Structure 1
Amino acid sequence: MSVFTLNNIRKTFQNGQVKEEVLKGINLSLKQGEITALMGTSGSGKSTLLTIAAGLQQTTDGSVLFEGNNLVSMSKEQVRKIRAEKFGFVFQFAHLVPFLTVEEQLFLMLDIAESSLNKQARKREVDRVFDLIGMSHRKNALPASLSGGEKQRVAIGRAIIHQPKILFADEPTASLDSERSKDIMLLLKDLSKKLQITTLMVTHDEEMLAYVDKVVKMTDGKINLLE
């Protein structure tokens, strides 16, 4: 069942007197609980497509459909609310707040998502996520004391603490070595199935494709479904 659909997405940038079309009519459907990988060389449009899908950038034409709503026609505040409540984000670097403990990072995300949970329920939810990401033993640690893989696990925990429907991941393993990259992909795969989170991930690492459900290759603003 498709839970997120991109219809005829086009994006044009003005470069002086020249218009450059970087996305040329993209159509893509994402299914619940599946990980879809976007691959392509630099300049192929994959990062632009990811930011448009996440409501972080306007499209020139087309629609972004989620839960019966077209993000393209919604106000900035409506889209912001959907991002805060329904979307999660993981990037190449963890971007953890340096002076907050691991546990405090997750509590902060619940505040940002405007969670309706009371204090006790928030604590239970944070503990549940720590178990899911395998970081219960490090919840009082500061980011500076964490390894790269541990930081990324916390970033993933922060991204899912508010139970999002869609997870957007931009090169989530690019800053890690091969072994830790595989650990993170195994975690993302486990969470996508266990929590039924739909994931759209940009990656350049072909070894990571063994952990995804669908691969989309982008070339010159167009896509080809590989598997």
Structure 2
Amino acid sequence: MSLFQLEDIKKEFKHGSTKEQILKGIDLELNKGELTALVGASGSGKSTLLTIAAGLQDLSGGSIKFSGKNMTEMNAEEVREVRAKYFGFVFQHAHLVPFLTVKEQLELMLDTAETKWSKKSREARIEDALTTVDMWEHRDSYPENMSGGEKQRVAIARAIIHEPEILFADEPTASLDSKRSVEVMELIERLARELNITVLMVTHDNDILKYAERIVEMKDGKIIES
């Protein structure tokens, strides 16, 4: 079932009197619970497409539809509300707050969420999220005492604690060694399958493409294979 539609997406940047077209009319649909990988050479437009899809960057043309609603017609506050409620984000680096424990990282995320939960519900959500990523036993640990893979697991728990419908992952394994990359990708693949989360992932790592149900290749701002 199609959950997310990108239609004729264009993006251009101005450099003085000249314009550079980064995305040249992208059409892409994301299905519920599907893990899609965006691949292509540096400069092909992968990360630009992901940030536009996630509502983190304005587009120059086209439309974005999520659950039948046109996000392109929403104002900035409405887009922010969609991001906060339905989208999760994982980046190349975990970006954990150094002076917060694992549990406190997730508490902070809930503090900034649109929905407010009772103390009992908050505690249950935190335990569930950390158990899902096998980090509950490390709930009182600080980032400085964790490996790169463990930090990324916490970042994933933070991204899913509000039960998003879509997870946007930009090079989630780029800073990890091969063993940790496999662990993180197995986790992301399991989340897509068991929690029915739609995943759009940008990657340069061909070794993790086997976890994707669908591979979309980009070149010079266009999709050349899907």
| TM-score normalised by structure 1 residue count | 0.98
Encode CA deviations 1:128-164: one digit per residue, 9 max, x unaligned: 1111100111000011101000000000000000000
Q: Specify the code of the residue in structure 2 equivalent to 1:100.
A: L
Matching of residues 69-218 of structure 1 within 5 Å: 69-218=69-218
Encode CA deviations 1:54-75: one digit per residue, 9 max, x unaligned: 0011111100100222111111
Matching of residues 61-76 of structure 1 within 5 Å: 61-76=61-76
Aligned residue for 1:153, secondary structure, equals helix
Q: Judge conservation of contact 2:81–2:114 (CA < 8 Å) in 1.
A: no
How far off its partner does 1:40 sit? Answer: 1.0
Structure 2, unmatched stretches of 5+, are: none
How far off its partner does 1:224 sit? Answer: 2.6
Q: Specify the code of the residue in structure 2 equivalent to 1:159.
A: A
How far off its partner does 1:11 sit? Answer: 0.8
Identity of paired residues, percent?
57
Q: Judge conservation of contact 1:33–1:197 (CA < 8 Å) in 2.
A: yes
How far off its partner does 1:17 sit? Answer: 1.7
How far off its partner does 1:23 sit? Answer: 0.5
Determine the C-alpha separation between the residues in 1 that align with 2:109 and 2:43.
32
Q: Specify the code of the residue in structure 2 equivalent to 1:97.
A: V
Q: Specify the code of the residue in structure 1 equivalent to 2:178.
A: S
Q: Judge conservation of contact 1:58–1:72 (CA < 8 Å) in 2.
A: no
Matched residue count:
226
Q: Specify the code of the residue in structure 1 equivalent to 2:4.
A: F
| TM-score normalised by structure 2 residue count | 0.98
Determine the C-alpha separation between the residues in 1 that align with 2:68 and 2:112.
24
Determine the C-alpha separation between the residues in 2 that align with 1:25 and 1:222.
7
How far off its partner does 1:15 sit? Answer: 1.5
Q: Specify the code of the residue in structure 2 equivalent to 1:71.
A: M
Encode CA deviations 1:107-131: one digit per residue, 9 max, x unaligned: 1111211333200011011111111
Deviates more, 1:205-214 or 1:64-73: 64-73
| Corresponding residue number in structure 2 for 1:41 | 41
How far off its partner does 1:77 sit? Answer: 0.5
CA RMSD of aligned residues (A): 0.8
Determine the C-alpha separation between the residues in 2 that align with 1:143 and 1:132.
19
Deviates more, 1:106-115 or 1:157-166: 106-115
Q: Specify the code of the residue in structure 2 equivalent to 1:208.
A: I
Determine the C-alpha separation between the residues in 1 that align with 2:214 and 2:87.
20
Q: Specify the code of the residue in structure 1 equivalent to 2:101.
A: T
Determine the C-alpha separation between the residues in 2 that align with 1:199 and 1:34.
6
How far off its partner does 1:171 sit? Answer: 0.2
